[in-house]
A and B are shown apart, each in its own frame.
Chain A
Amino acid sequence: MGTRTCHRVYLGSLMTTFDLNTDSVRALNQSLHDASSGHTSVTKPGGQHCIACGIDAALEVSIDGHVGYYCAGMNQEAHITITGNAGPGVAENIMSGTVRVKGNASQYAGASGHGGTLIIEGDASSRCGISMKGVDIVVAGSVGHMSAFMAQKGRLVICGDAGDFLGDSIYEACIYVRGAVGELGADCIEKEMTDQHVQDLTQLLAATGIDAAADEFRRYGSARKLYHFDIDHANDY
């Protein structure tokens, strides 16, 4: 497949453009892996999978359109903006940098993310933040069921509502919800929202550009009853 990459000067830096209607995802990703800086614009993604995954540099990537599975997977340092909806597993295992979805995200958004920030300006589907290990995820809308399942570290901020079984088997991750919460998952409880939590959340919301008042949120976390296997808690698992 021929690569039709064009380079042009954009705001004083080199801008690379990929039209995924004609260029391949492979060519795009290889270019992103070879680059150490710069801005890449991706047009007509057409819901293709694995776009901009595995970046390991402080690149700027703008994707104009809808993406399929695992966009921005395992991202390190890059700042990626998706102006469209994202398929399953957006920013899975993100380590650092930011991924912003200016639309809705499908299931497993930010799964097992270790660091960095994922911002979803619309809604996220089920299992948002599943197995998260340090990432900050801010969802301007609502999330589906089983979000933050086995979440270990990091923060999941839900400005809308949360589906059932929120935070099931959660470890030390912190969940903030502004709207309604369905049934809580095993070992997940509401916790006190202290001044420190309000201050931390205010900073996170400001940093991610999400307009919401931190003192309107409630906080959820682990009751820590399942940290050691206890037969008396067998029915809680």
Chain B
Amino acid sequence: MTTDNKSLRPSATFSQHVLDEIHRAADEGIYEIRGFGAKRPLPNFDDLVFLGASMSRYPLEGYREKCATDVVLGTRYAKKPIELKIPITIAGMSFGALGANAKESLGRAATAMGTSTTTGDGGMTEEERQASKTLIYQVLPSRYGLNPDDVRRADALEVVVGQGAKPGGGGMLLGHKITARVAEMRDLPEDIDQRSACRHPDWTGPDDLKIKIQELREITDWQIPIFIKVGATRVSYDVALAVKAGADVIVVDGMQGGTAATQDVFIEHVGIPTLPAVRMAVDALQELGMHRKVQLIISGGIRSGADAAKALALGADAVSIGSAAMVALGCNRAVFIEDYAALGTAPGYCHHCHTGRCPVGITTQDPQLEARLQPEQGARWVRNYLSTMVLEIQTLARACGKSHVLNLEPEDLVALTVEAAAMAKVPLAGTDWIPGSNE
């Protein structure tokens, strides 16, 4: 009997991916742990478009008229705010999850572009401090590698409450990535699975956090900005509480944000997309009269100058990129195909950061794999990518008649879907309808 193709009707409920996942769970008895960010379709910045200049708006000449991109972060309390040349920063990614060459590449590129990088779980490496002129030092629940010497030589501190890929979750660095150096930095034995706590050990809630931030300011003599990073969930409340706790800068990380290793169910089903998170954060700041006084950085699935420009137009002061910077470094590039295959994957599909067997030498501690990413080349790629993003932002800003990218505004945008219109609170294209706002 031969198969009748007309009878091969796939189930929308039990799609091939769902069938595969149930089979995998039945075989292994454990959830999938993986890297990268959410893979399912989500409302995103592609659902917005700019209204370029027209009869009522005056554009700027694309290549000749100035369109500034500088941004200052941390103007609320810090004696030494951070001055960046571009509104794109590099998000926190740990040494441990990433190899030293990847971290150095990011630092060199950021320095060349006049922006910042951010440490991650596990502390600050000397290479990273040397490579990155402006370095944000994260204070994470695990406190791995946290020490006052590095606190004092940081350009800002970022208290991480959560991240977009897993708000409410801790972390797991699997044992094969815990080399002697990583273990020493984290005060752990080698080769064990390292758990990162989901809560800070010495504060619970915003009232405590306010005092914790006071302590960090006292230790640093009120010189440097204090950021608070939250995963996007109850954004309005979290932003208001972060302001109350004394943040100079708030980082809101949407659910498209990446991770080195987390349960797939966490990545795909916890948190809200970056698109609504921006607007909720800006609204909260405006309600408190703190918009532009407490700076807002948006991250989570930012891929291009267009994404960045739309986040800025909605009211962010800067964006931060993590996964996209790794892609610029070569993540999922179609090279070393056989090594992707050895992981059971292929270029374009790889999310195997957690294995430590990164085919392109980014998320690995293996010397042979890491040698595939040389800092000079990596820095060049990321620098080129950042330059492209900046040119794209300027192109869009000039088209809207803005001489500074921070002059972009919600009125420059319309939405292509009802959902995006409701989330971003901009009109549905061709109408003056903002669902939920002006009915």
Residues of A within 8 A of B (CB): 25-26, 29-30, 33, 49-50, 53-54, 56, 68-70, 73-74, 76, 88-89, 92-93, 95, 108, 111-112, 114, 127, 130-131, 133-134, 149-150, 152-153, 169, 171-172, 227-229, 231, 234
Write the chain B residue with the least CB distance to A232: B29
Which residue from B187, B189, B221, B222 sits with its C-beta under 8 Å from A134? Answer: B187
Q: Is the CB of B187 within 8 A of A153?
A: yes
Contact A89:B218 (CB < 8 A) given known A134-B187, A152-B187: no
Report the Cα distance A114→B186, complex, angstroms: 10
In the bound complex, residues from chain B placing their C-beta under 8 Å from that of A88 are: 202-203, 208
In the bound complex, residues from chain B placing their C-beta under 8 Å from that of A169 are: 195
In the A-B complex, list the 9 residue pairs whose CB atoms are closest, starting with the nearest: A54-B219, A112-B143, A133-B187, A108-B202, A227-B192, A74-B148, A111-B202, A89-B202, A70-B215
Q: Is the CB of B193 within 8 A of A228?
A: yes
Q: Is the CB of B202 within 8 A of A112?
A: yes
In the bound complex, residues from chain A placing their C-beta under 8 Å from that of B221 are: 29-30, 33
Write the chain B residue with the least CB distance to A127: B201
Q: Is the CB of A229 within 8 A of B172?
A: yes
Q: Is the CB of A108 within 8 A of B201?
A: yes
Encode contact with A along B137-154: 1 for CB under 8 Å, 0 otherwise. 000001100111101100
In the bound complex, residues from chain A placing their C-beta under 8 Å from that of B49 are: none
Write the chain A residue with the least CB distance to B29: A231
Q: Is the CB of A114 within 8 A of B147?
A: yes
In the bound complex, residues from chain A placing their C-beta under 8 Å from that of B143 are: 93, 111-112, 131, 133
Which residue from A56, A108, A114 sits with its C-beta under 8 Å from B187? Answer: A114
**Could you give 27 example pairs across A and B, Cβ below 8 Å?**
A26-B222, A29-B218, A30-B221, A50-B211, A50-B218, A53-B219, A54-B215, A54-B220, A56-B148, A70-B215, A74-B148, A74-B151, A74-B219, A88-B202, A89-B203, A89-B215, A92-B201, A95-B147, A108-B203, A112-B202, A114-B187, A131-B142, A131-B201, A150-B195, A227-B193, A231-B30, A234-B30
Q: Whole-angstrom distance from the CB of B310 to the nearest CB of chain A? A: 39
Report the Cα distance A50→B212, complex, angstroms: 8
Contact A112:B146 (CB < 8 A) given known A49-B211, A131-B201, A150-B195: yes
Q: Is the CB of B211 within 8 A of A69?
A: yes
In the bound complex, residues from chain A placing their C-beta under 8 Å from that of B69 are: none
Residue from the set A29, A54, A231 with the largest chain B CB neighbour count within 10 Å = A54
Q: Whole-angstrom distance from the CB of A143 to the nearest CB of chain B? A: 15
- For residue B188, CB closer than 8 A to chain A, the reply is yes
Q: Is the CB of B215 within 8 A of A49?
A: yes
- For residue B171, CB closer than 8 A to chain A, the reply is no
Q: Is the CB of B188 within 8 A of A152?
A: yes
In the bound complex, residues from chain B placing their C-beta under 8 Å from that of A74 are: 147-148, 151, 219
Q: Is the CB of A70 within 8 A of B189?
A: no
Report the Cα distance A33→B217, complex, angstroms: 13
- For residue B62, CB closer than 8 A to chain A, the reply is no
8 Å CB interface, B353-394 against A: none
Residue from the set B175, B215, B221 with the largest chain A CB neighbour count within 10 Å = B215
Report the Cα distance A134→B143, complex, angstroms: 13
Write the chain B residue with the least CB distance to A89: B202
Write the chain B residue with the least CB distance to A51: B218
Encode contact with A along B156-193: 1 for CB under 8 Å, 0 otherwise. 00000000000000001011000000000011110011
- For residue B125, CB closer than 8 A to chain A, the reply is no
Q: Is the CB of A172 within 8 A of B189?
A: yes
Report the Cα distance A130→B200, complex, angstroms: 10
Write the chain B residue with the least CB distance to A25: B218
Q: Whole-angstrom distance from the CB of A176 to the nearest CB of chain B? A: 20
Residue from the set B29, B152, B174, B211 with the largest chain A CB neighbour count within 10 Å = B211
Residues of B within 8 A of A (CB): 28-30, 142-143, 146-149, 151-152, 172, 174-175, 186-189, 192-193, 195, 197, 201-203, 208, 211-212, 214-215, 218-222
Q: Whole-angstrom distance from the CB of A116 to the nearest CB of chain B? A: 12
Q: Is the CB of B195 within 8 A of A53?
A: no
Q: Is the CB of B188 within 8 A of A92?
A: no
Q: Is the CB of A76 within 8 A of B192?
A: no
Q: Is the CB of A95 within 8 A of B148?
A: yes
Write the chain B residue with the least CB distance to A133: B187
Report the Cα distance A69→B214, complex, angstroms: 10
Q: Whole-angstrom distance from the CB of B186 to the nearest CB of chain A? A: 8
In the bound complex, residues from chain A placing their C-beta under 8 Å from that of B148 are: 54, 56, 74, 76, 93, 95
Q: Is the CB of A50 within 8 A of B215?
A: yes
In the bound complex, residues from chain B placing their C-beta under 8 Å from that of A30 are: 221
14 A-B pairs besides A56-B152, A89-B215 with CB distance below 8 A are: A26-B222, A29-B218, A53-B215, A56-B149, A76-B148, A93-B143, A93-B147, A95-B147, A108-B203, A111-B143, A114-B187, A131-B142, A134-B187, A229-B193
Q: Whole-angstrom distance from the CB of B260 to the nearest CB of chain A? A: 15
Report the Cα distance A150→B214, complex, angstroms: 26
Write the chain A residue with the least CB distance to B142: A131
Which residue from A56, A70, A95, A130 sits with its C-beta under 8 Å from B211? Answer: A70
Q: Is the CB of B215 within 8 A of A228?
A: no
Q: Is the CB of A26 within 8 A of B175?
A: no
Q: Is the CB of A131 within 8 A of B197?
A: yes
Report the Cα distance A165→B142, complex, angstroms: 19
Q: Whole-angstrom distance from the CB of B336 to the nearest CB of chain A? A: 28
Q: Whole-angstrom distance from the CB of B185 to the nearest CB of chain A? A: 11
Q: Whole-angstrom distance from the CB of A235 to the nearest CB of chain B? A: 13
Q: Whole-angstrom distance from the CB of B142 to the nearest CB of chain A? A: 7
Write the chain B residue with the least CB distance to A113: B143
Which residue from B174, B197, B218, B219 sits with its C-beta under 8 Å from A150? Answer: B197
Q: Whole-angstrom distance from the CB of B148 to the nearest CB of chain A? A: 4
Report the Cα distance A171→B197, complex, angstroms: 13
